[in-house]
Amino acid sequence: MFAGYLRFADRCAVCGADFKAADAGDGPAVFVILVVGAVVAPLLIILQFGLHLPGWVALAATMAAAVGLCLALLPPFKALLFAFQWKHKAREATFEDIE
Ligand SMILES: [Zn+2]
């Protein structure tokens, strides 16, 4: 479903469904920040105070892990949120939705 690292293809390669309206917005980034933060914050504490690594080593390793995890998790989370939008036919609200 992706044409680039985070860019959706114009249509589904299997069934031809139109992906042009696909927009998960900031949703994937929010979930990735929550997940990665929950992983790397304890990692920093363990590396610095559990393994007694020098501060800069622990920080560098934690930052590398944070960047790597974010880059690895963004595409699957973006695909997941788009799948939820597709399944529930989510779209921008209009005045017809109020009545
Ligand atoms: Zn399809």
Over the stretch 60-78, which tens digit does the pLDDT of each residue have? 999 999 999 999 999 999 9
User: Ligand 1 mean position to 24 CA, how many Å?
Assistant: 17
Average pLDDT over residues 80-99: 81
User: How much distance in Å is there from the Cα of 12 to the middle of ligand 1?
Assistant: 4
CA of 48 to the centre of ligand 1 (A): 47
Q: Which long-range contacts (CB under 8 A, 24 or more apart) does 27-34 make?
A: 27/77, 27/81, 28/74, 28/77, 28/78, 28/80, 28/81, 29/74, 31/77, 31/81, 32/69, 32/70, 32/73, 32/74, 32/77, 33/70
**Ligand 1 centroid – CA 19 distance (Å):** 9
CA of 14 relative to ligand 1 center, distance in Å: 5
Name the pTM for this structure: 0.76
pLDDT per position as a tens digit, 22-45? 777 788 899 999 999 999 999 999
